A and B are shown apart, each in its own frame.
Chain A
Amino acid sequence: MRPDYDKSPRPIGGELVIPIVAVAFTLYFFSSIWNSPWTAQVSGFLVGGILLLVCGIFFVRCISQLMSGRASLGFGTLFSIQDITSGRVGLLITTVGYCLLIDRLGFTLTTFLFLSLSMLILSHGKRPGLIIAISAAMSLGGWAVFIWAFETRFPSGWFETTMKAVLANG
């Protein structure tokens, strides 16, 4: 006899996210090429048509599973309280902050701040000294290799400008 927990409906809400995004994007794509020349339409309608068909098949499969009680609309492991406790949400916030701040603060400073904050969040505040040392080494190492040695055009800010002036003046 199989245990009861095997019979609990499988949460498929999360699996619906990608097909819903795909359908929405395809419809937007169609709207953007509706009055365009055929050269702009042909592959969009061909690929988009197949994508809508496959998504349709997937939705039918999901509805059938929902109606037979084999599936539920829960999100399973896609969104859960663990996302907060593990620091994933915190990491996402710091990543968004990194993208927004790097243009103003420059690569080195933003990378240092991002690495320190993210590692502190993920480690729940443990070993701050080690984390700050690693963050400083990584961001300064990145600056030395990519900006100073290879002159790669990374986003620059106060630190990069100052170091450039210092190095230029010997």
Chain B
Amino acid sequence: MGETGTILVEVFFQTISYWWVIIPTIFLGLIVGGVPGFSAANTIIILMPLTLAMDLETGLIFMVSLYCAARMGAGIPAILVNIPGTAGAAATPLDGYPMTKQGRGQQALAMTFVASSLGGLLTTVIALATMPVLARVGFYMHSVEMIVVMLFGISLIASIAAQDMVKGLIAGFLGLMIGSIGTDVVYATPRATFGFLELYDGIPLIPALVGLFAVSEAFVIIEKRLIITDDARKAMATPSWHATFEGASIALKRWWHIAWTSVIGLIIGVIPGAGASIASFVAYQQSRSFSKTPEAYGTGHPEGLIAPESANNGVTSGTLVPLLVLGIPGGATAAIMLVVMQFHGVSFGPSLFENNPKVGYGMFMAMAVSYLFMMFTILPLSRYMSRVTTVPTIYLAPMIISFTLVGAFVPREYMFDMYLALAFGVLGYVARRTGYHVAAILIGVILGPLLERYFLWSLKKSDGDIMVLFSSTLGNVLWVCLALSIVLPIWFETRRKRREIVIQ
């Protein structure tokens, strides 16, 4: 066993000995991840004095465990009550919530726990093994390449719009227009801000998320006594562990799906500026594109739930790569980790693995151990968490509204953001009642500003020459992949239908 192997084994056992930090932090992470506005980044900031008071190892393990658990926690309300805890879980309710309404919430939770843990664990191991290679991905991803990555995610709008293309496209492009509110990235010219200074930075994501999903959902669910159907309620009257094992088994049987969608998350995670929301949308879209049953997506299809959850947990290990190897944080949480670690006198970058190899490998090991612990501690909870769906809507709806609206206030502490969430709630309610997909609007709101930023940077660099979009080899490869991912599923579907006709 080489020197690195010895360090890894040593760090692994050392990390396990911190179980008393990891297990409570996992539960804290589940809570803060599940409430919109309380991301892992916000919680680490809130608990910064505590983190700084801890010794280096404890602080590091605490932050990494919280980060992983919060990512997983964001999917729980997305599945149970159609409210993603963070933008990274915005693709989770597309198939998770229909499963809950069918009374399969316990299976869905078990599935997501297994997919998230396995996805996170696998990508942590891959990241550990291929760190030097992965760290260079960020160098090759310029604005042109990022435009294509964004388009991978945005193409999901077309899939969502499949049932009624015109209405789907209206929802998606309205979202893109709303996402364009705020100042432009080059000259800071305000656009469509209605005179509100609070909109100069663009539409804040949490109020949009809270309004479109939580508030609008609360106004819809009050029509029924319970979220779930009567048949589902009868089935849930006799809870058993069977549903948990069944969900875990469904996920484990799709191990290959977990593997490749989590790798999508890992690759997107290592690109600074990209994030879990992009990864989950891209993974969902790719999963649907290459599925043999694309028509089942959106109706409670296991693969539609596994793909975004594996991908957004793959992002967690991805964001650590540029942080540790290059000293460039790949996201907000990684940036805060950088500050905390620097306080302890640890400098990130190429010298980290020479001067402090235990810290460098320790962060990945903390992630791997957290995911291992999560698999065994959270999985049994699926049986009890799914009981939320049996709470009558007359109690559930006001609770959803009050706690999510105040969650919209938290990130920026503007009262305006609560009003904005309410406005998005009304928009979301009208959209739901009239057959427009709120997820399509949200994709536009999330990815629109990013796409515009990279598009403008590309045009500025090329003095307005649109052909810059096809000027790089990697970019062109990605364009071909994008075209194939759109064309191939259509071709497969046509071929399948022809074969069916021939057989008949």
Partner of B455, one of A43, A51, A92: A43
User: Cβ of A69 < 8 Å from any Cβ of B?
Assistant: no
Shortest C-beta distance, B283 to chain A (Å), equals 24
A39 touches B460 (CB 8 A): yes
B434 touches A28 (CB 8 A): no
User: Cβ of B163 < 8 Å from any Cβ of A?
Assistant: no
A54's nearest neighbour on chain B, judged by CB, is B169
A98 touches B459 (CB 8 A): no
B415's nearest neighbour on chain A, judged by CB, is A103
Partner of A95, one of B43, B169, B422: B422
Partner of A32, one of B169, B190, B452: B190
User: Cβ of B76 < 8 Å from any Cβ of A?
Assistant: no
B35's nearest neighbour on chain A, judged by CB, is A146
A94's nearest neighbour on chain B, judged by CB, is B398
CA distance A76 to B173 in the complex (A): 25
Tell me the total A-B contact number using a CB cutoff of 8 A.
179
A15-B435 contact, Cβ under 8 Å, with A40-B187, A43-B180, A150-B46 = yes
CA distance A147 to B254 in the complex (A): 42
A47-B433 contact, Cβ under 8 Å, with A33-B191, A39-B456, A154-B409 = no
B166 touches A95 (CB 8 A): no
B177 touches A114 (CB 8 A): no
Shortest C-beta distance, B441 to chain A (Å), equals 9
CA distance A37 to B185 in the complex (A): 11
Residues of A within 8 Å of B448, CB to CB, are 47
B219 touches A111 (CB 8 A): no
Residues of B within 8 Å of A99, CB to CB, are 405, 415, 418-419, 422
A114-B398 contact, Cβ under 8 Å, with A51-B170, A151-B46 = yes
B177 touches A51 (CB 8 A): yes
Q: Which of chain A's residues 85-110 have a Cβ closer than 8 Å to chain B?
A: 86-88, 91-92, 94-96, 98-99, 102-103, 107
Shortest C-beta distance, A168 to chain B (Å), equals 17
CA distance A138 to B402 in the complex (A): 10
A98 touches B192 (CB 8 A): no
* Interface SS of chain A: helix
B430 touches A54 (CB 8 A): no
CA distance A72 to B164 in the complex (A): 19
CA distance A76 to B455 in the complex (A): 41
User: Cβ of A44 < 8 Å from any Cβ of B?
Assistant: yes
B406 touches A86 (CB 8 A): no
CA distance A37 to B190 in the complex (A): 11
Interface string of B147-172 (1 = CB under 8 A from A): 00000000000000000001101110
B464's nearest neighbour on chain A, judged by CB, is A38
User: Cβ of A29 < 8 Å from any Cβ of B?
Assistant: yes
A145's nearest neighbour on chain B, judged by CB, is B31
Partner of A15, one of B177, B398, B434: B434
A78-B434 contact, Cβ under 8 Å, with A25-B192, A103-B415, A153-B413 = yes
Residues of B within 8 Å of A17, CB to CB, are 430, 434
B176 touches A40 (CB 8 A): no
B170 touches A91 (CB 8 A): no
A40 touches B167 (CB 8 A): no
Shortest C-beta distance, A146 to chain B (Å), equals 8
Q: How many chain-B residues does the 8 Å CB contact rule pick out? A: 66
Interface centre among B171, B191, B398 (most CB of A within 10 A): B398
User: Cβ of A7 < 8 Å from any Cβ of B?
Assistant: no
CA distance A14 to B432 in the complex (A): 11
CA distance A102 to B415 in the complex (A): 9
User: Cβ of B246 < 8 Å from any Cβ of A?
Assistant: no
B220's nearest neighbour on chain A, judged by CB, is A88
A48-B434 contact, Cβ under 8 Å, with A29-B192, A57-B166, A58-B170 = no
CA distance A30 to B178 in the complex (A): 13
Shortest C-beta distance, A34 to chain B (Å), equals 11
User: Cβ of B215 < 8 Å from any Cβ of A?
Assistant: yes
User: Cβ of A144 < 8 Å from any Cβ of B?
Assistant: no
User: Cβ of B401 < 8 Å from any Cβ of A?
Assistant: yes
User: Cβ of B8 < 8 Å from any Cβ of A?
Assistant: no
CA distance A66 to B275 in the complex (A): 45
Residues of A within 8 Å of B409, CB to CB, are 154-155
A54 touches B173 (CB 8 A): yes
User: Cβ of B395 < 8 Å from any Cβ of A?
Assistant: yes
User: Cβ of B189 < 8 Å from any Cβ of A?
Assistant: yes
Q: Which of chain A's residues 57-90 have a Cβ closer than 8 Å to chain B?
A: 57-58, 61, 76-78, 82, 86-88
User: Cβ of A142 < 8 Å from any Cβ of B?
Assistant: yes
A47-B422 contact, Cβ under 8 Å, with A18-B431, A103-B415 = no
A22 touches B222 (CB 8 A): no
A26 touches B177 (CB 8 A): yes
A78 touches B173 (CB 8 A): no
A77-B406 contact, Cβ under 8 Å, with A32-B191, A99-B419, A150-B43 = no
B191 touches A44 (CB 8 A): yes
Shortest C-beta distance, A72 to chain B (Å), equals 14
A96-B422 contact, Cβ under 8 Å, with A25-B192, A88-B222, A122-B394 = yes
Residues of B within 8 Å of A54, CB to CB, are 166, 169-170, 173
Q: List 11 A-B contacts (CB under 8 A).
A: A22-B174, A39-B186, A43-B452, A44-B192, A54-B169, A61-B166, A78-B430, A91-B398, A99-B419, A115-B402, A138-B399
Residues of chain A whose beta carbon lies under 8 Å from any beta carbon of chain B = 14-15, 17-19, 21-22, 25-26, 28-29, 32-33, 36-40, 42-44, 47-48, 50-51, 54-55, 57-58, 61, 76-78, 82, 86-88, 91-92, 94-96, 98-99, 102-103, 107, 111, 114-115, 118-119, 122-123, 131, 134, 138, 142, 145, 150-155
Query: Told that A22-B174, A29-B180 touch, could you supply 6 new A-B pairs with CB distance under 8 A?
Result: A15-B435, A22-B177, A91-B219, A91-B397, A119-B398, A153-B410
4 residue pairs, one from A and one from B, having the closest CB atoms = A118-B398, A40-B184, A122-B394, A39-B186
Residues of chain B whose beta carbon lies under 8 Å from any beta carbon of chain A = 31, 38, 43, 46-47, 166-167, 169-171, 173-174, 176-178, 180-181, 183-187, 189-193, 215, 218-219, 222-223, 393-395, 397-399, 401-403, 405-406, 409-410, 413, 415, 418-419, 422, 425, 427, 430-431, 433-436, 448, 451-452, 455-456, 459-460, 464
